[in-house]
């Protein structure tokens, strides 16, 4: 066949420019039995990109647990869905927009939010919460302030305008992200569990409908760009960044939800990465059918767009639908009301082929199977992961008072307050937010009920770098702890695997082993993986990021009135550590923030993760919160016990007297990052300790709250809680002011 207009014959050089290898080019020639034209080659390039095909990660993603009685829809759809009771489903997913956000931080972050929202409401859910996981370079790097300001503004600009609360997230800084930041956006929605919409096309002859905004030339080859390393020429990729419009996004969301309520929709797919290409190919292939579209009918905002441009554009706020034929007029009326384009552009066929018409001719005619089912799948070589040695705390600790070390840590960029960031997000819109950013987990009321939905995002990249399998497991475990700390039980997770170039054996090992660790933890905690995203080639000029497999966890709490925060509620409450007994007088400082900030970051092993202990201790905390035995709780993570206690005191503007061990290593005890632990405030410590003993859970009283606003460790000089608050709050505003 030939293209509609005379164009040069495609060669391997054209394929290489689109990110395809020589082997992949040869495979395309074999599968087609001829040379593809430019449009066809572009479609192969997009669908075979890492971003769309998961060709380097598929083997390992298949090892993850995806089933459970709570799972309604697992990986493979626009988003995952779990049963949360009362006839409702929570629908959620996390995705990356890393490369676009580095090139154009506002639009990259904004369209990341818009894209993940579409993934959720495409399933028939009304979004109720947004979260994010962000990674930036060193604070003193020349681009960090610009990128941080743009990304935060973009997240707030889209989320605030569309009217969805941002209730949680995390932000880290490290020099490895100087040339490649990470912007991961997560959305959670609610739907009736018997009214979930899927993407598989049905019914040959049924109309294929384009809805939403018009198609432009923005974002062309965005999926391919997101599947390649950066270089010094990164700025030249600016045209590949999509441009979002939250106001149109809001109209599209409301129109789609209204249409779904009318029983007109047979299948629906967001036009995300690879735009019209991925939506049409995925819908047709999932249904085991074909699709024919007339590209001259696609609503375009620019003149003279080619078939290649129309198919590869990633213009935002667009959907592709298959409707019941008799419902077309009703659907058109709905989209006319919301002032959005509504255009029948094709039909479902029985051919198993993607046929595209343009300018009176055939611009594309290719079988779907090679694009999806037969896409390359690689088992890339892995380097051996050499275990790092355990680090004895005595080898790196000093005689400095605990309070002085604490001050240096809480004012560091790693632990400083993120208030400057999250106060730019609307966390209260929709009026169902119980707990917003700044705590262990976001908590949303299930509208009109007493039940709550708890959400968090978590990853500790330095642990993953030190031991990928342990680090992958720890990311899931920390999500479990964050939900447990508010009184909620984790039910399922979504993940975003951010790594460097998988063609490098050491990077491939990081990814594969961290996925295995995630799987270990997901099975142990009964939190199957129901959705996710993979973002590879996060490198600039050959330097990879710290590996960052982010976990987003969703869970429920039966009665939001029983939920707790991290702030102690009264003077004289006992502070009890759950997951540690009274005999412990040291702690794990390997790969800790103490080691990073105060000891030159020796290359040591991360803290071990005991998944049975995580499960047991978390269930105990959940049960005690529900029963009223715990008044405040905070998981112990970065910075160890001392930092967890300080954060609780700052949150409650209350002091505390902490008992230090008589022997051992004070710094190891105070700043060790041993896992599976919580600090809780209780009115009756004896009753809590007795319950812990009965449950086989280690626990020990380590102090009590006290009026006066001072925090004292053992016999050391006390430190003002207000001083700690000031240190934590000043760091990021000072950075953004150029200090």
In the structure encoding, which two tokens stand for residue 541, read together?
């000029």
Spatial contact of 618 and 635, defined as CB atoms under 8 Å apart: no
**Coil, strand or helix: which one is 180?**
coil
Q: Which residues contact 611 (CB under 8 A, 6 or more apart)?
A: 473, 477, 520, 521, 524, 525
In the structure encoding, which two tokens stand for residue 149, read together?
């300001």
The pairing of strands 548-557 and 80-85 is unpaired
Whether 97 sits among the annotated catalytic residues: the reply is yes
| Distance separating alpha carbons of residues 98 and 184, to the nearest angstrom | 7
Whether 221 sits among the annotated catalytic residues: the reply is no
Distances (CA, A) of 732 to 26, 140, 417, 420, 739: 51, 12, 7, 7, 9
| Distance separating alpha carbons of residues 378 and 367, to the nearest angstrom | 22
Task: Output DSSP code: residue 77.
Answer: B
| Distance separating alpha carbons of residues 715 and 362, to the nearest angstrom | 83
The pairing of strands 442-445 and 452-458 is antiparallel
Distances (CA, A) of 188 to 70, 164, 182, 553, 661: 16, 10, 20, 10, 44
Of the residues 97, 99, 221, 725, only one is catalytic, namely: 97
169-201 b/e (C-beta count within 10 Å ≥ 16 → b) = bbbbbbebbbbbbbbbbbbbbbbebeebbbbbb
Looking at the DSSP assignment, which residues form a beta bridge with residue 454? 443, 555
Q: Which long-range contacts (CB under 8 A, 24 or more apart) does 231-237 make?
A: 231/540, 231/541, 232/541, 234/102, 234/103, 234/179, 234/540, 235/103, 237/99, 237/103
CB atoms within 10 A of CB 515: 25
| Distance separating alpha carbons of residues 99 and 327, to the nearest angstrom | 40
Backbone dihedral region for residue 659 (phi beyond 0: left; psi -120 to 50: alpha; all else: beta): beta
| Distance separating alpha carbons of residues 97 and 106, to the nearest angstrom | 11
| Distance separating alpha carbons of residues 105 and 180, to the nearest angstrom | 11
φ, ψ of residue 18 to 5 degrees: the values are: -95, 10
Q: Supply the residues annotated as catalytic.
A: 51, 97
């Amino acid at each position: 066949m030939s293209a509609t207009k005379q164009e040069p014959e495609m060669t391997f050089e054209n394929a290489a420019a689109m990110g395809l290898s020589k082997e992949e080019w040869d495979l395309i020639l074999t599968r087609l039995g001829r040379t593809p034209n430019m449009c066809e080659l572009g479609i192969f390039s997009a669908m075979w990109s890492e971003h769309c095909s998961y060709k380097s990660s598929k083997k390992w993603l298949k090892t993850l647990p995806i089933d459970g009685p709570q799972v309604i829809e697992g990986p493979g759809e626009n988003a995952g869905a779990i049963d949360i009771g009362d006839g409702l489903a929570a629908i959620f997913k996390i995705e990356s927009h890393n490369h676009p956000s580095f090139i154009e931080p506002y639009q990259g972050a904004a369209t990341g939010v818009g894209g993940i929202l579409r993934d959720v409401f495409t399933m028939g859910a009304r979004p109720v919460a947004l979260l994010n996981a962000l990674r930036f370079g060193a604070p003193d790097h020349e681009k960090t302030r610009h990128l941080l300001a743009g990304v935060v503004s973009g997240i707030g600009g889209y989320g605030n305008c569309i009217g969805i609360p941002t209730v949680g997230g995390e932000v880290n800084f490290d020099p490895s992200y100087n040339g490649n930041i990470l912007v991961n956006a997560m959305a959670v929605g609610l739907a009736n569990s018997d009214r979930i919409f899927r993407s598989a096309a049905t019914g040959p002859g049924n109309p294929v409908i384009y809805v939403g905004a018009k198609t432009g030339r923005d974002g062309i080859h965005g999926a391919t760009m997101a599947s390649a390393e950066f270089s010094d020429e990164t700025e030249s990729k600016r045209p590949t960044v999509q441009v979002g419009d939250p106001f149109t996004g809001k109209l599209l969301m409301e129109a789609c939800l209204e249409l779904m309520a009318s029983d007109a929709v047979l299948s629906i797919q967001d036009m995300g990465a690879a735009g019209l290409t991925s939506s049409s190919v995925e819908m047709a292939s999932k249904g085991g059918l074909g699709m024919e579209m007339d590209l001259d009918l696609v609503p375009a905002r620019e003149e003279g767009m080619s078939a290649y441009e129309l198919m590869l554009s990633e213009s935002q706020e667009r959907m592709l639908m298959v409707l019941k034929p008799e419902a077309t007029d009703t659907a058109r009326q709905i989209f006319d009301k919301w002032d959005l384009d509504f255009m029948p552009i094709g039909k479902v066929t029985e051919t198993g082929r993607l046929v595209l018409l343009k300018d009176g001719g055939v611009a594309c005619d290719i079988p779907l199977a090679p694009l999806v089912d037969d896409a390359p799948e690689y088992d890339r070589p892995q380097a051996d992961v050499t275990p790092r040695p355990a680090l004895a705390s005595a080898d790196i600790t000093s005689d400095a008072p605990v309070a002085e070390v604490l001050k240096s840590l809480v004012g560091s960029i790693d632990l400083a307050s993120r208030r400057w960031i999250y106060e730019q997000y609307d966390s209260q819109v929709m009026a169902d937010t119980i707990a917003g950013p700044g705590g262990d987990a976001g908590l949303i009321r299930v509208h009109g009920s007493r039940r709550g939905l708890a959400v968090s995002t978590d990853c500790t990249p330095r642990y993953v770098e030190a031991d990928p399998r342990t680090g992958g497991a720890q990311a899931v475990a920390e999500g479990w702890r964050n939900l447990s700390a508010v009184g909620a039980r984790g039910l399922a997770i979504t993940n975003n695997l951010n790594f460097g170039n998988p063609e490098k054996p050491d990077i491939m090992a990081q990814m594969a082993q961290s996925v295995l660790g995630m799987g270990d933890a997901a099975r142990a905690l009964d939190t199957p993986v129901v959705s996710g995203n993979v973002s590879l080639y996060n490198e600039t000029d050959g330097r990879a990021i710290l590996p960052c497999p982010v976990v987003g966890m969703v869970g429920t709490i039966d009665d939001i009135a029983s939920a707790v925060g991290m702030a102690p509620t009264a003077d004289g409450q006992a502070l009890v550590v759950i997951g540690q007994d009274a005999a412990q007088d040291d702690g794990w400082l390997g790969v800790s923030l103490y080691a990073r900030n105060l000891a030159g970051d020796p290359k040591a092993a991360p803290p071990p993760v005991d998944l049975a202990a995580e499960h047991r201790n978390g269930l105990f905390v959940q049960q005690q919160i529900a029963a009223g035995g715990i008044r405040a709780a905070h998981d112990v993570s970065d910075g160890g016990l001392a930092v967890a206690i300080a954060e609780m005191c700052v949150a409650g503007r209350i002091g505390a007297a902490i008992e230090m061990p008589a022997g051992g290593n004070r710094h190891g005890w105070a700043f060790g990052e041993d896992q599976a632990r919580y600090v809780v405030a209780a009115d009756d410590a004896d009753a809590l300790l007795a319950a812990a003993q009965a449950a086989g859970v280690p626990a020990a009283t380590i102090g009590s709250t006290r009026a006066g606003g001072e925090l004292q460790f053992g016999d050391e000089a006390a430190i003002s809680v207000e001083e700690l608050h000031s240190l934590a709050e000043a760091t990021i505003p000072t950075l953004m002011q150029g200090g």
